[in-house]
A and B are shown apart, each in its own frame.
Chain A
């Protein structure tokens, strides 16, 4: 059973650039959620994808967007990067509603630094 994998693990961008982060969900999981964890804070929900559709969104502007592919892998795209976007971005997979405990399985995260 493969766990959640994310790429890249670290990256540095400059303000105004765009970034794409990738996530492969755990085998058998069809739901992917993305979280942003700023330094000293807990993870904050960005959005969730289920069957390639956005299925809930947190308080993040539209320049944060995502995709889910037929194999349930996912991308997080952030346009017009700002300094405050510097954070650890966590991807988590889970089974769909009504199955299991609803537990989230997290990847190791992608550390984004915006200069």
Chain B
């Protein structure tokens, strides 16, 4: 049973427009959520995170929104750039402030940003 779900395997957007990547989770014990980006032949790289005590966290062009009642989070990229084309993984943890080694990942969404 998948605890973290990314239901869209792929997403295509035009350069300069907004990209919205979605993620749903089932375990209400999760208290920390992260987004990772992965280019081919590279390991995942950390993008942005949010703890369950917040509903929004912003870092430059990237904003993560958390809706705990819906068990849903989303990553907004504005404006989207061709270099953002990658696979984006949503991940969750139930041990914020502790070791983050045990992250539960979704299957990923492949974002393509067209020039």
B11-19, B63-71, B75-83, B96-104: which lies at the interface: B96-104
Q: Which residues of chain B are near A84, meaning CB under 8 Å?
A: none
List, in ascending order, chain B residues with CB within 8 A of A106's CB.
36, 43-45
Binary interface profile of A, 74-115, with partner B (CB < 8 Å = 1, else 0)? 000000000000000010101011100111111111000000
Min CB distance, B46 to chain A, in Å?
5
Q: A44-B105, A45-B104, A102-B93 are in contact. Are A97 and B99 (CB under 8 A)?
A: yes
Q: Is the CB of A42 within 8 A of B108?
A: yes
Whether the Cβ atoms of B108 and A45 lie closer than 8 Å is no
Given contacts A101-B49, A103-B34, A109-B43, contact A94 B106 (CB under 8 A): no
A104–B101 touching, CB < 8 Å:
yes
Q: How many residues of A contact B (CB 8 A)?
A: 30
Could you pull out 17 A-B pairs where Cβ atoms are within 8 angstroms? A35-B105, A42-B4, A42-B6, A45-B101, A45-B102, A45-B104, A55-B99, A58-B102, A92-B101, A96-B99, A97-B97, A102-B93, A102-B97, A102-B98, A103-B49, A106-B44, A108-B43
Chain A residues positioned under 8 Å from B32 (CB to CB): 102
Q: Given A4-B43, A42-B106, A42-B108, is A103 in contact with B101 using a C-beta cutoff of 8 Å? A: no
Q: A42-B89, A102-B32, A102-B93 are in contact. Are A48 and B43 (CB under 8 A)?
A: no
Known: A90-B44, A103-B46, A105-B46. A43 touches B99 (CB 8 A): no
